[in-house]
Structure 1
Amino acid sequence: MPNSKNKSRRRHKVGQETGRNELVSRSLQSAQHCLEDQDYGTAYAHYLLVLNIAPELKNDVKETFQFTLLKWAEELDSLSRIQDLFDCYEHALELFPNDEVICNSMGEHLFRMGFRDEAAAYFYKAVKLNPDFLDAKENFYRVANWVVERWHFIMLNDSNRNLLYQKAIQKAALSGCKSALDIGTGTGILSMFARKAGVSSVYACELSKTMYELACEVLAANGFDEEIKLLHMKSLDIEIPKHIPERVSLVVTETVDSGLFGEGIVESLIHAWEHLLLPPKPNNAGVDAENYGRVIPAGAAIWGMAVECKEIRRHHRVGVKEIAGVYLPEELEFHSPTDASVTSEETLEPYTTEKLSRVPGGYKALTEHFQVFTVNFNNVQELKSFATRKPSKIDVTVIEEGIVDAIVVWFTLQLDDEHTISTSPSEDSCWEQAVYPVQGLLDYSVKSGDSVTMEISCQDCYIRIQKISIVPADYGMDDERNLREKNSEAELCSALASLQTASKRESTQQRCMVESTEIALLNNIPYHECFKAAIGKVLSSLSVHEQSQSMDVDRHSDAALARNQSKNSVTPDPLYVLDVSEGFSILPIIASKYGPVKAYSSVEKEQHQVALSLISEANRCPKEALEFWLSQLKDENMVLQRPKSDKLWSIIILDVIETSGLIQQDVMEKAAISRCLLHSGGKIFPQHVKMYGVLVESRALVLETEVQGTDPTLGFNIAPFINQFKVPFRIFLDLSTLPHVPLSKPVELMRLDLMNPYLNSCNREVKVKVCKTGHVTGIPFWYHVCLDEDTVLDTSSKSSHWKQAAVVLDKPIQVQSGDELVLCVQYLNSNISITVKQ
């Protein structure tokens, strides 16, 4: 009997195996048929079944499964079936947890949906799994700038800043602080300062997933993973005793931005005093601080100064009335997003930031520096008052004649009664300054003795400087009284008329908010003059060609005579121009002034369309000459298509260079499509682009890219972990103010031909002769944007709205004058890499 049972089991097992194999075979066949029919969803389901019941086939079907997953994910994405999309990836990653292609694709979907932290984790994993996977590396570099912002590197390299924080924390520990909470810990350096200083219980919180995981690695590497409790959460969500056992005697934080309050320090400290900190020490208390709470930094003083700065001006005020023959109507006002008078929904921050010591063209102080206000972080009532405090007015005397372009703000961070950190533009520190551009005045000029008045408030966690005005020195106290005492009827009527005129002007003004880079573009006269010349050449040539063809046809036609007699009354077919450059652009209006032209703009914001329509009307362009292309498309992805079923474009204008200094993503793919949509004799602008570079020695580039060992971090091992997030490119550079020493002459690195995109070489070796002894640390690069052979735009020029970028070498290369280096330049999928072959 036992033998018969065993035989029965074996037969049953064989039967099961046979059935399984048949099911696998049928499912694979069905999956293949579905792929042929482009039914990716069903094919994906079949592959899931196969891989779950026959995991030994993973390697055999891996590539086909990847292809099916990516196609099905694209379809789900287009249908907005987001949950189904992520479910598919989760199932796929359960089967292939270490597949770099799946990880990278998952990251791409997450990034497009705004989940940058999560995307970074998948890109990072993909690069770790396959360091040669170029797509994942480029994706990781792109997202690394978001999730680990570049100021982390600059700040950690600021040894003076680190030392002052360490001394203040040591002093607090010596005075009796036994427990500490580090709010917004970042890499965990302040927490480690506290633990090393003798604080027995140290807690830290970090909201960013990427920074939290990085801090975990840093704490473990330095032996503090068991001694510092790290929480992945906002401090506002910390509860006692759920997350930490009791109130702490010390809070350390550097959740401040260049405008001091922009990272929410006021809100987080109010919450800390009410829920997480021991009560503040009374004025008459003794030295021992064990039973009292305190904050490092203890407070801050905010300082301001009115300045003249052409670079700030050209990014925030349109300073021209006419651009390449296009007149800007008086009733149209352009404003940058920092303008506090623009609706709050459109304004992210009321200031921008600049490192004034490196601003192109420099700046001139028009006033002495003045105190905006002070804040005591150890006084919760004072912190609460900021949200309800009425705006205060400040009146500052002008000491230098000039043009008021901005109010520049910095602060002195009072860590304790002994240690301070200043972010002044005159200090050599890691900090930038907050810049409040002045906008909306009729006259910005001042002379010595005049006054600049402003209103200071604190709203929505931001310090706001509003209602900036200029009061002339000769405007005396009696002027207002004299005006009030004028009672003649004629003068009263005149005053009323003036008020009505001003009111009318105010009501007819059309405000248009554009990005600061778009204002700089409007101020870039050479850019528009070059486009005007290049556009004119092409349209004139095509017009002559079409007229010639029309005359040839008429000459052989029975009705030739009649047509020739009436040709002046017949409107010729228009030439079609498409501008798909990003942001606000007046190039379609420049094009529409050349005879019978239909110019299509790709701007999509309603206020931008209104502004362009006003400009078009002011320049007496025919109403039908300007069209808004995206408004006519059902799918924005189809922006590159024929203007009409039987028509082609005469000119297509593409954005090739980002304002950051990098090449636009997918630009060569767009060029290839555009080439197929051009009328005979039509052109793509630009027609080609040349990339130039130079070898430099620049310590600034290195310090802004990676942390330099353990010296600046006072012995703590942080560099290897945060440097995993360094990127080989430094963007938004201005080569004219970058501290550097050129070690070679500029050389052409690469040429991209947009009219013949398939002829571009992906790899090139360039020999560069060294002309000065030193250490090569980077290769800044810029472009000559060639609209045609005679019309060239230089992205490194003073008037350029573009910035430059640089490749930063992993290790400096020592060179002697006369040496020759070979640069290997690779261009793949709109991404450039430059390596040095010695």
Structure 2
Amino acid sequence: MPRSRGGGRSGQEAGRTELVSRSLQSAQHCLASRDFGTAYAHYLLVLSLAPELRDDVKETFQYTLLKWAEELYSLNRVQDLFGCYEHALELFPDDEVICNSIGEHLFRMGFRDEAAGYFHKAVKLNPDYTDAKENFYRVANWLVERWHFIMLNDTKRNMTYNSAIQKVVRLGCKTVLDIGAGTGILSMFAKNAGAHRVYACELSKTMYELACDVVAANKMETGIKLLHMKSLDIDVPKHIPERVSLVVTETVDAGLFGEGIVESLIHAWEHLLLQPKPKGKDGNCEEYGQVIPAGAVVFGMAVECSEIRRHHRLDVQDLAGVHLPANVKFQSLAYSSIDSEETIEPYTTEKMSRVPGGYLPLTESFESMAVDFNNLQELKNLATKKPHKMIIPVIQEGVLDAIVVWFVLQLDDEHSLSTSPHEETCWEQAIYPVQNLPDYFVKPGDHVTMEVSCQDCYLRIQNIHIINADHEMDVERSSNKNEEESHALGSEAELCSALAGLQTSKPDEIRQLCTLESTEIALLNNVPYHEGFKAAMNKVLTSLAPSKQSQIMDVEDGGGEMNSGNSQGGNSIHFTTDPFYVLDVSEGFSILPIIAGTLGLVKPYSSVEKEQHRLTLDLISEANHFPKDTLEFWLRHVEDDCAVLQRPKSDKLWSIIILDVIETSGLIQQEMMEKAAISRCLLQSGGKIFPQYVLMLGMLVESKTLIEENAVQGTEPTLGLNIAPFINQFQVPVRAFLDLSTLPCIPLSKPTELLRLDLMSPYLNDSNREVKVQICKSGQVTAIPFWYHVYLDEEISLDTSSETSHWKQAAVVMDNPISVEMGQELVLIVQHHKSNISITVKQ
């Protein structure tokens, strides 16, 4: 009997070995024929039957998985896609390549929290895995927004909140709910003050897990109950056992209401808080409910600011020979109507103390609204209250560009925090750009009118107008025609409305409203950018002309009608042969294809995606007398948006391909070099990619600001609480969206060329480079800001740090400051991998 059983085992083992061998052969055969799905199934069978082969087939399995996952993603088979990754992680739970790949798919689909978890795990498994590091750095900015670091380093803010919480807890508020807990710092203030029971809710999975770690590290996990949920979903007694006597929160943004504080406090008063203390009642507050902050007062000021203007208002009518017609109206997202389908913040934000070019106050600061967070009825009335009309006198001559808004947060009757541009604060200010006025000039004696409301739980400042002093007397005379009319205009609100109507001129007939990102409007206002592209494209087309030219017309100085082609200030080339093909695949809205169309017999293709933007470009083409269908929209000809870089026809090649190589944030575009490699294969002989190469420049600086915006600096700013090691896991070495012209810093070296990225001649590129930098001032190197010179050709370049640039800049922030002396030479190691740049100092 034993011999029989042993023979059976032997036979089974032989059968298993045979099946494994055949499955391996089948997998390799399927890979050769690019049948990744079947190959993947064979590898799963092999690994389930012979786990001892894991190390031998690991790399091939990874390759097969990644290829099959891409195929499933393209087929929108999401459930199968994640099923494959689930099986793969069971077999290789600690494989950084698989973790990174599943993170990339999750991120594409909008699951940022989950994606970050996999990227973070991949980096922990292999700290040198560049792809995972780059992915984690990019997603970390979304998961833990940079203001968390700035806020936690704001000692004044932390001390003021702590004092207010201590005061009320010691008076008897012993049960506390922290709404929007973040790292849990306010909950820990309450616990340290003596609260018996503290509950805290946080919606972000990343921040919730971070808070759990922070609370545990500070040995308060038994006294603080953390909930991963919205406060609106909390139910008593299901989630917390009782109503609380104190709600603490800092769910306020630059526009006060944008993080939903009104809605969450209405719900809290109705379902989570004890009843408020009756007016005039003395004694402690243990049996009553209250909120910190107790209320807020909102202030505003009209300003002139060229930086805000160029990002929200079109300042040009003609751009590199292209006329932008009056029947096309451009507006920024911040001006979008509340009636639009998607809810958009009606303001943007700026740190006004650091805005490039500064700003000029045109009015005194004025109080626009006050709110009591301890008054339920007042909170309910906010959302339904009619807009409050205001009339503000002008004190300074200038151009009305925006209403700047800030607030004073009244934590209680003793403690407050101001977000004014004159204060050293972690908050930015809310900016309401002024648009759609016939004239923006104001002078003393004029008035600015506006309507202030809290519609959709956003602070809204709308219907901004100018009352010109020259018209006031006319209105006064007309309002005195009879007593009834005089009474009708008696109130300030009615007078404001009547006067404002006088300066509203009848607008030109608008055929197309085009809503753009603020960076897209700044790009349209960037005249050197468009003139540079026009000159560079004209040079390429002129050089290509002899091979196809049948006739060259004389140079045209003026911008006449384009029949077969025209150019303002350049050669106008007419052909009887096929046209030149120009493809613009730059990001967002771009008029470069229309500029290309003015340079001769050119067939320009735009890759804009939004129908609104296509209609706008069609109207601009029409206004510039393009023959119908001159401009084509390439995505209509492409089945897969990812394959936008293709030939225009089977037998044609592109003369010019325009790529976006720099993000407006100041970073290099992802997959830029891969796109350049494809583009080179699609160019006709003598054709060019724009830009042809990019130089990255940088300098060494000492900047306390960049250090504090990049990581929490020890336990001192957080009043002894241990938070820094946990949130600093999400710091990233590169800080984007900087304005170097106003960044508080001390330059320690002159600008130096750090890297060259050549799109036309890739053999000139070097992914690793050592750069010597001469120190011109003694100090501590804390960061290396960088920017680019974008070369369209050897003579025409664009500087991403110039005053007219629509690009921001970026900086590498050092882990540890380096002391340097004047005259010393520092060697930087600059590495470029895909779109990621790392800069370290050679020790």
TM-score, scaled to structure 1:
0.93
Q: Distance in 1 between matches of 2:240 and 2:812?
A: 45
Name 2:526's counterpart in structure 1.
524
What one-letter code is carried by the residue in structure 1 that aligns with 2:782?
A: T
Q: 1:324 to 1:288 in 2, by over 3 A?
A: same
Q: The residue matched to 1:777 in structure 2 has which SS?
A: strand
Q: 1:569 to 1:661 in 2, by over 3 A?
A: closer
* Equivalent residue runs for 1:423-822 within 5 Å: 423-476=419-472, 478-479=474-475, 482=478, 507-547=509-549, 571-822=576-827
Cα deviation for residue 65 of structure 1 reads 1.4
What one-letter code is carried by the residue in structure 1 that aligns with 2:517?
A: E
What one-letter code is carried by the residue in structure 2 that aligns with 1:779?
A: I
Name 2:326's counterpart in structure 1.
330
* Equivalent residue runs for 1:37-76 within 5 Å: 37-76=33-72
| Contact 1:598–1:624 under 8 Å retained in 2 | no
Cα deviation for residue 544 of structure 1 reads 3.4
Q: Distance in 2 between matches of 1:478 and 1:832?
A: 63
Q: The residue matched to 2:145 in structure 1 has which SS?
A: coil
What one-letter code is carried by the residue in structure 2 that aligns with 1:373?
A: M
Q: 1:265 to 1:526 in 2, by over 3 A?
A: same
Q: 1:624 to 1:693 in 2, by over 3 A?
A: same
Name 2:410's counterpart in structure 1.
414
Unaligned runs of 5+ in 2: 483-500, 553-572
* Equivalent residue runs for 1:372-387 within 5 Å: 372-387=368-383
Aligned pair count?
Answer: 803
| Contact 1:31–1:43 under 8 Å retained in 2 | yes
* Equivalent residue runs for 1:260-339 within 5 Å: 260-339=256-335
Cα deviation for residue 126 of structure 1 reads 0.5
Unaligned runs of 5+ in 1: 487-498, 551-567
Cα deviation for residue 317 of structure 1 reads 0.2
Name 2:157's counterpart in structure 1.
161
| Contact 1:572–1:596 under 8 Å retained in 2 | no
Q: The residue matched to 1:466 in structure 2 has which SS?
A: strand
Q: Distance in 2 between matches of 1:440 and 1:110?
A: 41
Cα deviation for residue 287 of structure 1 reads 2.5
Name 1:553's counterpart in structure 2.
none
1:218 aligns with 2:223: no
| Contact 1:338–1:347 under 8 Å retained in 2 | no
| Contact 2:733–2:812 under 8 Å retained in 1 | yes
1:209 aligns with 2:208: no
Q: The residue matched to 1:245 in structure 2 has which SS?
A: coil
Q: Percent identity?
A: 72
| Contact 2:252–2:261 under 8 Å retained in 1 | yes
Q: Distance in 2 between matches of 1:582 and 1:335?
A: 18
| CA deviation string 1:321-366 (max 9, x = no partner) | 1111111111111000011437522551100000000000000111
| Contact 1:158–1:430 under 8 Å retained in 2 | yes
| Contact 2:574–2:601 under 8 Å retained in 1 | no
Q: The residue matched to 2:135 in structure 1 has which SS?
A: helix
Q: 1:347 to 1:594 in 2, by over 3 A?
A: farther
| Contact 1:671–1:757 under 8 Å retained in 2 | no
Q: 1:344 to 1:216 in 2, by over 3 A?
A: same
Q: The residue matched to 2:344 in structure 1 has which SS?
A: coil
Q: The residue matched to 1:408 in structure 2 has which SS?
A: strand
TM-score, scaled to structure 2:
0.93
Q: Distance in 2 between matches of 1:662 and 1:226?
A: 44
| Contact 2:549–2:574 under 8 Å retained in 1 | no
* Equivalent residue runs for 1:58-97 within 5 Å: 58-97=54-93
Q: Distance in 1 between matches of 2:645 and 2:762?
A: 16
Name 1:489's counterpart in structure 2.
none
Name 2:564's counterpart in structure 1.
none
Q: Distance in 1 between matches of 2:299 and 2:506?
A: 38
Cα deviation for residue 29 of structure 1 reads 2.3
Cα deviation for residue 620 of structure 1 reads 1.5
Q: Distance in 2 between matches of 1:517 and 1:141?
A: 23
| Contact 2:329–2:510 under 8 Å retained in 1 | no
| Contact 1:180–1:194 under 8 Å retained in 2 | yes
Q: Distance in 2 between matches of 1:236 and 1:337?
A: 29
Q: Distance in 1 between matches of 2:509 and 2:522?
A: 27
Q: Distance in 1 between matches of 2:576 and 2:20?
A: 68
| CA deviation string 1:389-417 (max 9, x = no partner) | 11110111101011110001101001111
Q: The residue matched to 1:623 in structure 2 has which SS?
A: coil
Q: Which of 183, 186, 190 lines up with 2:186 in the alignment?
A: 190
1:13 aligns with 2:15: no
Name 1:151's counterpart in structure 2.
147
| Contact 1:339–1:437 under 8 Å retained in 2 | yes
| Contact 1:424–1:433 under 8 Å retained in 2 | yes
| CA deviation string 1:180-202 (max 9, x = no partner) | 11111111111110101100101
Q: Distance in 2 between matches of 1:166 and 1:370?
A: 29
Cα deviation for residue 606 of structure 1 reads 1.1
Q: 1:311 to 1:150 in 2, by over 3 A?
A: same
Q: Which of 352, 356, 365 lines up with 1:356 in the alignment?
A: 352
What one-letter code is carried by the residue in structure 1 that aligns with 2:807?
A: W
| Contact 1:256–1:265 under 8 Å retained in 2 | yes
Stretch moving more, 24-33 or 610-619:
24-33
C-alpha RMSD over aligned residues: 1.9
Stretch moving more, 819-828 or 56-65:
56-65
1:171 aligns with 2:173: no
| CA deviation string 1:800-825 (max 9, x = no partner) | 11111000000000000011110101
| Contact 1:339–1:347 under 8 Å retained in 2 | no
Q: Distance in 1 between matches of 2:456 and 2:550?
A: 65
Q: The residue matched to 2:64 in structure 1 has which SS?
A: helix
| Contact 2:549–2:575 under 8 Å retained in 1 | no
Q: Distance in 1 between matches of 2:339 and 2:790?
A: 37
What one-letter code is carried by the residue in structure 2 that aligns with 1:756?
A: S
What one-letter code is carried by the residue in structure 1 that aligns with 2:427?
A: W
Cα deviation for residue 483 of structure 1 reads 8.6
| CA deviation string 1:246-290 (max 9, x = no partner) | 111111111111001100011111111111111111113222111
Q: Distance in 1 between matches of 2:550 and 2:511?
A: 46
Cα deviation for residue 485 of structure 1 reads 6.8
| Contact 2:336–2:344 under 8 Å retained in 1 | no
Q: 1:766 to 1:569 in 2, by over 3 A?
A: closer
| Contact 1:301–1:411 under 8 Å retained in 2 | yes
| Contact 1:340–1:347 under 8 Å retained in 2 | no
Name 2:364's counterpart in structure 1.
368
| Contact 2:574–2:600 under 8 Å retained in 1 | no
Q: Which of 396, 399, 402 lines up with 1:400 in the alignment?
A: 396
Cα deviation for residue 28 of structure 1 reads 2.1
Q: Distance in 2 between matches of 1:342 and 1:534?
A: 42
What one-letter code is carried by the residue in structure 1 that aligns with 2:191?
A: R
Q: Distance in 1 between matches of 2:90 and 2:60?
A: 17
Name 1:564's counterpart in structure 2.
none
Cα deviation for residue 548 of structure 1 reads 7.2
Q: Distance in 2 between matches of 1:179 and 1:769?
A: 59
Cα deviation for residue 634 of structure 1 reads 1.4
What one-letter code is carried by the residue in structure 2 that aligns with 1:57?
A: L
Cα deviation for residue 241 of structure 1 reads 1.4
